[in-house]
Homo-oligomer: A and B are copies of this chain.
Amino acid sequence: MTHPEIRQLLAPDPRRKILLLVLDGLGGLPDPATGRTELESAKIPNLDRLAREASGGRMQTIDHGVTPGSGPAHLALFGYHPYEVEIGRGVLEALGSGFELAPGDLAARANYATLDAEGVVRDRRAGRPTDQENRRLCDKLQSGIRDLAGGVEVFLLPGKEHRFTVVFRQKSASGSVAGELDPHLDDTDPQREGELPVDVRPGRPQANRSAAVVQEFLDAARQILRDEKAASGVLLRGFSGPIELTSFNECYGVRAGAIAAYPMYRGVARLVGMEVLGEPASFEEELELLESRYEDYDFFFIHFKATDSAGHSGDFAAKVRELETVDSNIPRLEALNPEVFVVTGDHSTPCVHKEHSWHPVPTIIRSPLSLPQPDAKFTERSLMHGDLGTFPAVQLMPLALAHASRLKKFGA
């Protein structure tokens, strides 16, 4: 179902609440030592019980064999298929940093990197500076570069370790946002050490001006950073500009609140038009926020990051532990008594793989209209046999709305 089709079916008096708990990188693969996946190894009695009471299945985030990045994965979960809605990483990062992008802005992910005297990249991550050091470097750059030729303003948004975000904004003579900086630029990051940064290349003639703007920034940055031992240069990638979307609230007839400890996920939620609630520092703070704001919204997106981080580290025991942490908090979420409680992930991050993967993600939808599965467990191999089958992520929202009796029937 497309968004216009869904909008035509929205029930006139929706009140029932939907809770969407996303466990990042949820799906896994067996530990060779035991033959059991992370979920199969964890003691998760509450999630297992939910799986028995709920309709269940597996969600394919993007496509067969396609490993999703975090941004596209969440867009798909929210019903915006990334084949149709292309959003650059720069934009996602800028949004995730809480920066308010304007139409025509150009955003890019940036790394501090170590360049040698010849400009060759010696360390793509500049020895992984601390976040504090990152802020110092961004302040230094920002005080040296505020405006570029032709009325272009530059914003530097510090991130974690060596990562930051750059936003370029074309202003008019009066200071208002004036024109578009075409984002069709190739990455300057050579992706390996021992090579020169790649020149800023426009992907089409309209991007000639933004290529010149970015080159001017890079040259200035090299000058300003020339005395830095580690962070002597900047690499850019994921050039992109904001896009227009029909908002999540309008698509689904909900008032959606997003709760996430990591800026990136707040950014995606804000991009689709959810209201972002605070900046909780932990899952505990996320839950407190949910409880205190529960009456204000009828849809909540709650993001849990630690499962993905453990997957990336390849730390099987840690991922099991994080799953158990979530499980122990399930009764707290149930106590809010949502009409529909969805537990899923944005993609798999198997510990044996240490990366995101394409494997479909265990998913349950618990409501009074679920078809219970008396033998189910909350695992990859059990939910494979669930009544929801393996379904595309963009169908999760219609399914959740249906289970909340928030969709009218199609035709009389």
Contact = CB atoms under 8 A, between A and B. Distances in A.
Interface of A: 1, 5, 9, 29-30, 35, 37, 62-73, 82-83, 89, 92, 109, 238, 350, 352-353, 355-360, 368-369, 371-374, 380-381, 384-385, 387, 389-391, 395, 398-403, 407-412
Given A63-B1, A374-B35, A69 B411 contact: yes
A238 B412 CA distance: 9
A411 B82 contact: yes
11 contacts: A1-B66, A35-B372, A65-B402, A65-B403, A66-B402, A72-B411, A238-B412, A355-B409, A359-B369, A359-B387, A360-B387
B30 A410 contact: no
A39 to B, nearest CB: 12
A321 to B, nearest CB: 22
Contact of A410 (B66, B400, B409): B66
Contacts of A384: 385, 387
A14 to B, nearest CB: 14
Contacts of A360: 387
Contacts of A411: 68-73, 82, 89
Interface centre among A238, A360, A369, A371 (most CB of B within 10 A): A371
B353 A395 contact: no
Contacts of A1: 63-66
A115 to B, nearest CB: 23
5 nearest CB pairs, A to B: A69-B411, A65-B402, A65-B398, A72-B411, A64-B395
Contact of A398 (B29, B66, B395, B407): B66
B374 A407 contact: no
Contacts of A5: 83
A35 B375 CA distance: 13
Looking at A63, A73, A399, the one whose CB has the most chain B CB atoms below 10 A away is: A63
Given A35-B374, A412-B71, A369 B353 contact: yes
A30 B371 contact: yes
Contacts of A64: 1, 391, 395, 398-399
Contact of A372 (B30, B73, B400): B30
